[in-house]
Structure 1
Amino acid sequence: MILELERKKELYKALVEKRTEYEGIFYVGVTSTGVFCRPTCPARKPKFENCEFYETAQQALLASYRPCQRCRPLSHPNHVSDLVRVLVEAVEQNPEKRWRGQDFKALSVDESTARRQFKKRFGMTFVEYARARRMGLALKSIRSGEKIIDTQLAAGYDSSSGFRDAFSRIMGTPPSRLEDGRILKAAWLDTRLGPMIAIGDEDKLYLLEFVDRRGLEREVERLRKRTKAAIIPGETKPIHSIEKELAQYFDGKLTEFSTPLYLMGSPFQQSVWEQLRQIPPGETRSYADIAGALGKPTAFRAVAQANGANQLAIVIPCHRVINSDGGLGGYGGGLVRKEWLLTHERQSG
């Protein structure tokens, strides 16, 4: 019972702190109100003694709790609000538009609310989102051979230096250098354990990470520099493929991924990642086990570093590597997710 109490304290702390990595891990029933919520609910937090924790929404419903109207636990945790949907549609109707205060008023939308909701959903404000969309069209125009001056004016920039700076900040490379450059596309994928970002070209998947992973921006920047590519919003065949496979994985219907991957690492790192892919779902290996399998038993620290450099979460299952003493070790997506993934694979096996 002591362990159970400690677990409840852990979940309550996650509830109070609105920890995103606990999405899909638990639901909380509030005895004083009769409602149940997801971990990131914005409502005022209940007292610890008024909380009951459940692994699924169904369990909470069966315990007679009704769903919270604020966090809507029966909808997807990353459900797009009506306001976001309206603005996204408005951008698509006129993607080259430069938005100003009166444009929000014309749609009966509060500008600060739009900024806040887009920041939460996409990691950028609405104005930044609209600008990125304009820049995506500008990139397409440049790639199709149009003159940069024409593209600059169409994107709403009177100053060539301003256009160049804005383009570089969003896309990662100035427009004059894109003629022979590569283009990667990035998409937001909703999953049971929270949103992930997928980046790929038309042939392979380059990156798959939880969006709240610590250091994700540095990972994307590293990818952009090493590939000398511009990264723009969009979807590709490998991104569609991994989205479909992830859904099957979380439903317990798939254990091996077939989406083609682009592995960007040293020969040693790639040998480690290959060993990770050979660990059966639901099983674990230690860093020392991996080093031994590679014929380098003293290289367990290098194995740990290679494990941490993996940019394809779940697909290359670094979550299946634990400490020699049986402890979970580290995980970029958070130890709560790591524990959930291992339990899920054991139950699905």
Structure 2
Amino acid sequence: MLFDLPDHDTLYRALLDRDPAYDGHVFVGVTSTGVFCRLTCPARKPLLENTRFYDSIAGCFEAGFRPCLRCRPLDPVGQREPMVSALLKRLEDDPERIWSEDDLTELGYDPSTVRRSFKRHLGLTFLDMARLRRAGQGVDKLAGGATVIEAQQSAGYESGSGFREAIVRLLGDVPVALRGRELLRADWIESPIGTMLAVADSHALHLLEFFDRTALPTELKKLRESTRSSIGFGRTPVIDRIERDLRDYFAGTRLVFETPLALHGSVFTKAVWDELVAIPPGTTRSYSEIAASAGRHTAVRAVARANGANQLAIVIPCHRVIGADGSLTGYGGGLWRKEWLLRHERKVMGLR
């Protein structure tokens, strides 16, 4: 990173203003669409809580975003480097293809030249980008309700271990340098409204998210940094516990979770999360009501950010927060899930 990014509000204002000063230096990932754009993109602007800002194209790809077809953030690179442009087009035309250096040689390219050029202009190699796109195909399948095995086969992976390794890479797993520190374990949990990823150690649940949430790679990166741990696939008693709690929740026999939690956030953020947990099942609160309850009447935006920073979907019920006018607002798992969860809880509580 050549410079520290300005704060989120400053960058969001630049996005709204289509400020050209950041063009080519800062990109915005939109969690509601899964694409990343230039800040000058003419498309309709996303809500504040649906934006993530990155200082490189590589950061956008590694976070699981794909390039916007309207502002085409990769075009400037392609205009400077015809070889990069040609290979990007091939990748766009056939994102499920399994590429190798031999394939590049057959097309008349020198693999080492391709590797250096992509690394220099985009921050990651062509083969890495191809692997990320293939793993992304699996994520898309999971988002559509496919099982892990179906998603694995769709992404072109013969073995489950290979697919899981690719997904871990997509989600930003840490290097072997962290070996020896406590290892967090991650595993899938199937639910009626989609596949979830649970991350826990032997004592507490650190993360529970819908696997198709675009911001998940960023959340996992923050989790690794805050815990100074690596993440590997596997089970812990805590994951078994949250799976049982979720099964009871969806069956309508439990609306309060007892799985021990590890919370990663500032004092204010944790205070907001406490207010979320205090919202009775089957009811909702507005951002301004949460701000008032937390003792910060004017901190509505800060409450929205704390709400979006929640890494424990359903357990910390950020889905119970709505707009001041009663409308459903941004939810990382998708508004359809938010509506489903609220309807489910009202039904269990016997509310209309």
TM-score by length of 1: 0.54
Q: Which moved more, 1:216-225 or 1:241-250?
A: 216-225
Amino acid at match of 2:157: T
* Rounded Cα–Cα distance in structure 2 between residues aligned with 1:322 and 1:170: 31
* Rounded Cα–Cα distance in structure 1 between residues aligned with 2:267 and 2:336: 31
* Rounded Cα–Cα distance in structure 1 between residues aligned with 2:236 and 2:174: 19
Q: Spell out the pairing of 1:284-323 with structure 2 (5 A cutoff).
A: 284-323=284-323
Note if contact 1:78-1:190 (Cα within 8 Å) is conserved in structure 2: no
Aligned to 1:327: 327
Q: Deviations over 1:74-127 (max 9, x none)?
A: xxx5556xxx5xxxxxxxxxxxxxxxxxxxxxxxxxxxxxxx74165xx78345
Q: Deviations over 1:304-325 (max 9, x none)?
A: 1000000000000000000001
* Rounded Cα–Cα distance in structure 2 between residues aligned with 1:170 and 1:300: 31
Distance 1:132-1:291 versus aligned 2 partners, 3 A rule: closer
Distance 1:253-1:128 versus aligned 2 partners, 3 A rule: closer
1:125 equivalenced with 2:125 (yes/no): no
Note if contact 2:172-2:217 (Cα within 8 Å) is conserved in structure 1: no
Q: Spell out the pairing of 1:224-243 with structure 2 (5 A cutoff).
A: 224-243=224-243
* Rounded Cα–Cα distance in structure 1 between residues aligned with 2:297 and 2:208: 29
* Rounded Cα–Cα distance in structure 2 between residues aligned with 1:190 and 1:131: 17
* Rounded Cα–Cα distance in structure 1 between residues aligned with 2:172 and 2:217: 13
User: Cα offset for 1:130?
Assistant: 4.0
User: Cα offset for 1:182?
Assistant: 1.9
User: Cα offset for 1:223?
Assistant: 1.1
User: Cα offset for 1:195?
Assistant: 0.4
1:178 equivalenced with 2:212 (yes/no): no
Instruction: State the SS of the aligned residue for 2:230.
Output: strand
* Rounded Cα–Cα distance in structure 2 between residues aligned with 1:118 and 1:234: 17
User: Cα offset for 1:295?
Assistant: 1.6
Amino acid at match of 1:212: D
Q: Deviations over 1:137-193 (max 9, x none)?
A: xxxxxxxxxxxxxxxxxxxxxxxxxxxxx99x9741324x422x1200000000010
Amino acid at match of 1:118: Q
Instruction: State the SS of the aligned residue for 2:191.
Output: coil
User: Cα offset for 1:217?
Assistant: 1.3
Distance 1:192-1:170 versus aligned 2 partners, 3 A rule: same
Aligned to 1:255: 255
Aligned to 1:267: 267
1:276 equivalenced with 2:259 (yes/no): no
Calculate the aligned-residue CA RMSD, in Å: 2.7
TM-score by length of 2: 0.54
* Rounded Cα–Cα distance in structure 2 between residues aligned with 1:343 and 1:211: 22
Amino acid at match of 1:241: R
User: Cα offset for 1:237?
Assistant: 1.1
Note if contact 2:188-2:195 (Cα within 8 Å) is conserved in structure 1: yes
* Rounded Cα–Cα distance in structure 1 between residues aligned with 2:205 and 2:153: 26
* Unpaired runs of at least 5, structure 1: 1-76, 85-115, 136-165
Q: Deviations over 1:229-248 (max 9, x none)?
A: 11111011110011001011
Q: Which aligned segments of 4 or more residues in structure 1 are displaced greater than 3 angstroms? A: 77-80, 123-128, 130-133
Note if contact 1:224-1:231 (Cα within 8 Å) is conserved in structure 2: yes
* Rounded Cα–Cα distance in structure 2 between residues aligned with 1:307 and 1:185: 25
Amino acid at match of 1:276: L
* Rounded Cα–Cα distance in structure 2 between residues aligned with 1:226 and 1:290: 26
Note if contact 1:208-1:312 (Cα within 8 Å) is conserved in structure 2: yes
Instruction: State the SS of the aligned residue for 1:190.
Output: strand
* Unpaired runs of at least 5, structure 2: 1-144
User: Cα offset for 1:228?
Assistant: 1.4
Q: Spell out the pairing of 1:1-349 with structure 2 (5 A cutoff).
A: 78-79=146-147, 84=149, 117-118=151-152, 120=154, 125-126=157-158, 129-130=161-162, 171-175=173-177, 177-179=178-180, 181-349=181-349
* Rounded Cα–Cα distance in structure 2 between residues aligned with 1:316 and 1:220: 17
Distance 1:171-1:124 versus aligned 2 partners, 3 A rule: farther
Distance 1:317-1:302 versus aligned 2 partners, 3 A rule: same
Instruction: State the SS of the aligned residue for 2:207.
Output: strand
Instruction: State the SS of the aligned residue for 2:194.
Output: coil
Note if contact 2:273-2:307 (Cα within 8 Å) is conserved in structure 1: yes
User: Cα offset for 1:203?
Assistant: 0.3
Q: Deviations over 1:252-295 (max 9, x none)?
A: 11010000000000000000000000000010000000111112
